[in-house]
Structure 1
Amino acid sequence: MTPHSPRARRRVGAGITAALIAGGVVAALPTSVAAHPRDHGAPAGDPDFGPNVTFIDETWSTDEINEFLDSVNDEPEFSQDRHQVFFEPGVYGSAAGEDDPATAEGIINAELGYYESVDGLGAVPGDVLINGAIHVEPHVECPDTPWACQGPGSLTRFWRSMANLGFNPIQRPTAEDAERPFPAGVAEPHQMRYAVSQAAPLRRVDVRGDLTVFGRFGEYASGGYLANSRVEGTITTGSQQQWYTRDSEVGTWDGGVWNMVFSGVDGAPATDFGQPAGNDAVGVKTSLGTTPVTREKPFLYRADDGELRVFAPHARTGTSGVNWSTDAAAGDSLRLDDFYIARAERDTAASINRKLRQGKHLILTPGVYELNRPLRVTRPDTVVLGLGYASLTPTRGNAALVTGDAPGIHVAGITVDANVPESEVLVQVGKKCPPSWAKGRGHGHGHGHGHAHLGHHRDGDDPITLTDVFVRVGGPWVGKAVTSIEVNSDDVLLDHIWAWRGDHGNGIGWEDNTGAHGVVVNGDHVTATGLFVEHYQENQTVWNGEDGLTVFYQSELPYDPPSQEAWTDGDRLGYASYRVADHVRRHEAVGLGVYSYFWNGVDIRTESGIQVPETPGVTLRSMTSVFLNGSGGINHVINTTGAPAVGSFASPQVIAYPTS
């Protein structure tokens, strides 16, 4: 067993012993979840998804549901345990007390924890209606004076999700929070809280009331992502630094700090980025009428004949509003007989790849999969669907997952953890680029020739798609990877990606969890909707392909460069986060935020957060740099344009580039 094997870290005892560590991060000793008295495995006639997948139906009492949800929502931040919860179609909880949450009885009311996904099995979200709330609250640092401790708040509320659910929001505090003098979980009538940051998507939800996405006392938050959803009332963003909403319906949108982006959202606020907004404020919102390319995430649902199936939506262009159809025109309804259902405790890379070669789709049930070779997904239209934050980790310096250059492959809902020895790449889409392009750690300098020969130009209506793919370098253990995600194919869609070189947790340090690039795009016609890339040591996102498009980008520069000399790109101060290579002639990006927090007490600068070639076909809109804390900062927003982001939460903006 390798020193960094997750199997060496299985849970060792019962009960949580939580402790605050440096930086306000909550750590906890592993724990065991008590066995629930109910049989919560798959219903008779369904495949066996293993012990980490729970099916709740209307025979469960409200107390049983709340008790069970409370038993799986207390994982520590870097736990190796994973949970997937499914609600069968039905109505759960009582709406009788909806106007007064403090006295409401019989409601579903629980918090959502790390590595927990809660999904409905209806054909449309309202087929599972929850009277109550499954909510996310910030970490409470100062129970007696919570308004005085805004950090960490929700800054580490990662790795959790909900989908395909309808909510009649009725929320109140739970468990120990209810005993605090100022409970975090108090909400207004008809309001649910989802105070998250990265890797915590809401998809295909129907909130029949209001949604707030920040803490009750204004705690810091750095989310987030909402797609294919409807919120009838008001979404209140408060302290959320940035947020991306795609193809949804909202009643009213209230607030925004630095970078709020909407595409294809009915009811979205008008674009006001960079415009005066009163009280010496400037606008931070950017709205696009449609989303250029979308492909919704595959999901399990209960078909009319009672069978569980996976619905794999088709890709679409120029979309807006919700699309909850499961008709044949909207996608393919796939029988589970066509899937291999993998289990981490029994499967290896060899056993999974054998099934993929035989033509099976793949469901990865919750767990940590140790892989001595990459999973290879090569057949067109193959679906790889992770449940409950199923995690892949390489053990021999290999990649975790590699796709062929075949149309329609869809990889969704997986987390990838770097390990040691170092991997050159963790997730590779399409064949490796030719040697003339293989610049290793020099990708961003723009050498080479055109990209027409990279991969085969496929029909853009059936793109390879990565959805909710989250990569970590460090955090659970020491990990090293030169590039986290490399895209070599053309016509690829990246929808909600978080590539994260860890800034806290285990194995953290400038020489320990090494990672040069989060995302490198070598293919042409690649679209990213909701791209989060943070803390890598060189150019974090490198775009070498032509006709690339990014809608929403969020990035923090690495916190930990020990000196300017250690973090210098040739004769240029620091590294730009978002780097379009010098040879690229056509590229577009909308809604970009790059933030700095150099915490070693050294005046470290980067010349600009965004670096692009100066050519008419490369255009960007709605860009900001932000000084979060620490020393040093960002000299320009893009190239040599934009004021410095240095000190006192400076957040200069550039509305468009080129500027004329």
Structure 2
Amino acid sequence: MPGEKAFRVLLAALAVGFVVAGIALVLAVGGPRDEPTDTAAPTGGEPDFGPNVTILDPTMTGDEIRSAVDPVFDAQETNQFGERRDAILLKPGSYDATIDVGFYTSVLGLGLSPDDVTVNGQVRVDAQWFDGNATQNFWRSVENLAVAPGADANRWAVAQAAPMRRVHVRGALDLYPSGSGWASGGYIADSKIDGLVSSGSQQQWFSRESEFGGWEGASWNMVFSGVSGAPPQSFPDPPFTVLGATPAAREKPFLYVDDGGDYRVFLPDLRRDSSGASWTGGETAGTSLGIDRFFVARPTDTAAEINAALDRGLNLFLTPGVYRLDETLTVERADTVVLGIGLPTLVPEGGVDAMTVDDVDGVRLAGFLIDAGAENSDVLLRVGGEGSDARHDSNPTTIQDVYFRIGGAGPGRATTSLVVDSADVIIDHIWAWRADHGDGVGWDANTADTGVVVNGANVVATGLFVEHYQRHQLVWNGDNGRTVFFQNEMPYDPPDQDSWRSEGEDGYAAYKVADGVTRHEVWGGGSYCYFNVNPSVRAARAFEAPDVPGVRFHGVLTVSLGGNGSIVNVVNSTGATVSAEWTGPSSVAVYP
């Protein structure tokens, strides 16, 4: 029998052996996926975001700021279909500057509150590059900062895919270009505008969870959800559709720098039946993750390398650039965050799907563009899988500022852009676009059937922009869906009526609620036709739905743009025809 000392050594060795065996067992079954074992970013400090991220700090002089930001705008002002991507990050402090925002540019404050970063001047978008026409001011953003424009209003003259989020404008805000040219946007969320918001020539606009000093202007479709200072409900004259609260909202994740100088990503909490900006009453409720919990991806990283990082339990931070994918990015872990800055662009090659998300809780997808490749993809982004039936009401997946493009930058094909199979998903500001201009554009060139298909139950959409697909723009199969704001243009280019016909009827409804749906509700929807290839083309209706008590529409309309083509009815067989004889808008305040 060994001595006492030897016996203690033996027990210690056995204990270590049991611990090692236990660790091995945990690793064998996968371990806690939210505790990654390695990272592509340093713990703390400033990560390597790549050459197209410009970081400003308040010690910089005005000349230094101009020399940093002006070249970005010079490169991006007219770069509608180029491959350059940029982000401008402002550390907490005050800046005397005017920052012009061009294509594929994000301007982001790095404070925990928008008021931690103040730009004394403007963060602005105008349209002089396009002769004062702002209808093509796409793909840009401003987030998480304050702007003090002085006596002049800050100008944010944008169209689709150009959100203003979590911004404090200490003054007035104009949403139209100087000279009052055309505009067709747009989206504001989680913001505070101290002065008057003027929509001017904007054809439509969606504002959510914000606080305005007032609002003036109306064209066709202005929708407000959870906005204090919004005008009263009055659709169709003027065409204001107003909800006192939003059914479900969870604000977009954002990058910030903590008091120790470390970079982190803040994850706001879910809110239901909410109104007003999340931050004006104090700190935004939520949690945060260190940047070391993310794989900080660069465009040179392969799809296999990104998937390996996701498999290790890391979240994904996409820096500016174009990512060419030869395999599908797969998100399998609950609560995974995929966040991009500077409009990082995923291009699937060889006909693969760009991204799939398993039917799990709490995934957050935000801030990137998926550009279809030359070989047809079945689906660009799928959330959940066929037959998904789990509930995620306490921790839904969110899709925010995620955009889809078929053609324009070159040949592109995809049958469907977004398929949502999971329940309880929140879709918050997307633009699914089959290109009507640019390269690789034509009825037989950039082919795409449908922009969005929703199969999951209890899905909420706040800000759906879906345009130019060759069949239904959107098909909603899941029960108890709710949409607040829908903007659509039907395809411009059907060559003739026989090429664009659904089940024996003229054309395809833009927004189709499937026959088996028993509950569905829409607030504020516009669908427009511009059949410029063949103006004799007609669509039987813009909105199609079963006639049951639980399916309702509020504030929907149609327009024939320039009288190019006809939409016979607005919803089912209700609503007057728009055509060359009368271009509209044709409005239905409530249906049924």
TM-score over 0.5 (shorter chain): yes
Q: Is the 8 A contact 2:110 2:144 kept in 1?
A: yes
Pick one of 299, 321, 343 that aligns with 1:389. 343
> Partner residue of 2:270?
315
Q: Matched residues, percent identical?
A: 47
> Partner residue of 1:654?
588
> Partner residue of 1:474?
407
The whole-number CA distance in structure 2 between the counterparts of 1:156 and 1:363 is 28
Q: Is the 8 A contact 1:168 1:190 kept in 2?
A: no
Helix, strand or coil at the partner of 2:66: helix
1:435-454 aligned at under 5 Å gives the runs: 454=387
> Partner residue of 1:129?
118
Q: 1:652: how far off?
A: 0.8
1:612-627 aligned at under 5 Å gives the runs: 612-627=545-560
- Cα displacement string for residues 485-505 of structure 1 (whole angstroms, at most 9, x for unaligned residues): 000111101000100000001
Q: Is the 8 A contact 1:609 1:637 kept in 2?
A: yes
1:92-491 aligned at under 5 Å gives the runs: 92-93=95-96, 108-139=97-128, 153-170=133-150, 189-274=151-236, 282-324=237-279, 330-345=285-300, 347-431=301-385, 433=386, 454-491=387-424
Q: Is the 8 A contact 1:599 1:630 kept in 2?
A: no
Q: Is the 8 A contact 1:314 1:462 kept in 2?
A: no
The whole-number CA distance in structure 2 between the counterparts of 1:349 and 1:129 is 38
Question: Which sits farther off after the overlay, 513-522 or 319-328?
Answer: 319-328
Q: Is the 8 A contact 2:475 2:512 kept in 1?
A: yes
The whole-number CA distance in structure 1 between the counterparts of 2:501 and 2:435 is 21
Change in CA separation of 1:199 and 1:505 when aligned onto 2, cut-off 3 Å? same
The whole-number CA distance in structure 1 between the counterparts of 2:404 and 2:235 is 30
Q: Is the 8 A contact 2:568 2:576 kept in 1?
A: yes
Q: Which amino acid aligns with 1:579?
A: K
Alignment of 1:556 onto 2:495: no
Q: 1:340: how far off?
A: 0.6
- Cα displacement string for residues 608-633 of structure 1 (whole angstroms, at most 9, x for unaligned residues): 01111111111110000011125221
Q: Is the 8 A contact 2:54 2:68 kept in 1?
A: no
Change in CA separation of 1:122 and 1:129 when aligned onto 2, cut-off 3 Å? same
Q: Is the 8 A contact 2:494 2:534 kept in 1?
A: no
- Cα displacement string for residues 207-235 of structure 1 (whole angstroms, at most 9, x for unaligned residues): 00000000222211110000000000000
Q: 1:518: how far off?
A: 0.2
Q: Which amino acid aligns with 2:142?
A: M
Q: Which amino acid aligns with 1:169?
A: P
Q: Is the 8 A contact 2:374 2:413 kept in 1?
A: yes
Change in CA separation of 1:190 and 1:327 when aligned onto 2, cut-off 3 Å? closer
Pick one of 433, 442, 459 that aligns with 1:500. 433
1:536-551 aligned at under 5 Å gives the runs: 536-551=469-484
The whole-number CA distance in structure 2 between the counterparts of 1:138 and 1:325 is 31
Helix, strand or coil at the partner of 1:206: strand
> Partner residue of 2:89?
86
Alignment of 1:51 onto 2:51: yes
Q: 1:332: how far off?
A: 1.4
User: What's the RMSD between the two structures over aligned residues?
Assistant: 1.6
> Partner residue of 1:513?
446
The whole-number CA distance in structure 2 between the counterparts of 1:584 and 1:246 is 27
Q: Is the 8 A contact 1:316 1:461 kept in 2?
A: no
The whole-number CA distance in structure 2 between the counterparts of 1:599 and 1:226 is 31
- Cα displacement string for residues 561-615 of structure 1 (whole angstroms, at most 9, x for unaligned residues): 0001100112111000000011111111110000011101431100001111111
Helix, strand or coil at the partner of 2:208: strand
Q: Is the 8 A contact 2:392 2:423 kept in 1?
A: no
Helix, strand or coil at the partner of 1:355: helix
- Cα displacement string for residues 319-361 of structure 1 (whole angstroms, at most 9, x for unaligned residues): 100112899981111011111100002x111100001011101
Helix, strand or coil at the partner of 2:530: strand
Q: 1:43: how far off?
A: 13
The whole-number CA distance in structure 1 between the counterparts of 2:282 and 2:260 is 15
The whole-number CA distance in structure 1 between the counterparts of 2:204 and 2:463 is 11
Helix, strand or coil at the partner of 1:412: strand
Alignment of 1:569 onto 2:531: no
Q: Is the 8 A contact 2:267 2:287 kept in 1?
A: yes
Q: Which amino acid aligns with 1:244?
A: F
1:584-599 aligned at under 5 Å gives the runs: 584-599=517-532
Q: Which amino acid aligns with 2:118?
A: L
The whole-number CA distance in structure 1 between the counterparts of 2:88 and 2:49 is 11
Q: 1:471: how far off?
A: 0.3
Q: Is the 8 A contact 1:311 1:326 kept in 2?
A: no
> Partner residue of 1:442?
none
Helix, strand or coil at the partner of 2:141: strand
Larger radius of gyration: 2
Q: Is the 8 A contact 2:44 2:292 kept in 1?
A: no
The whole-number CA distance in structure 2 between the counterparts of 1:140 and 1:165 is 26
Pick one of 523, 534, 539 that aligns with 2:456. 523
Pick one of 77, 82, 85 that aligns with 2:80. 77
- Cα displacement string for residues 86-133 of structure 1 (whole angstroms, at most 9, x for unaligned residues): 00000111xxxxxxxxxxxxxx12321000000000111111001001
Question: Which sits farther off after the overlay, 474-483 or 640-649?
Answer: 640-649
Q: Is the 8 A contact 1:300 1:308 kept in 2?
A: yes
Q: Is the 8 A contact 1:598 1:629 kept in 2?
A: no
The whole-number CA distance in structure 2 between the counterparts of 1:605 and 1:424 is 28
- Cα displacement string for residues 260-305 of structure 1 (whole angstroms, at most 9, x for unaligned residues): 000000111101002xxxxxxx220011000110011100111122
> Partner residue of 2:24?
none
> Partner residue of 2:67?
67
The whole-number CA distance in structure 2 between the counterparts of 1:649 and 1:161 is 33
The whole-number CA distance in structure 1 between the counterparts of 2:52 and 2:149 is 27
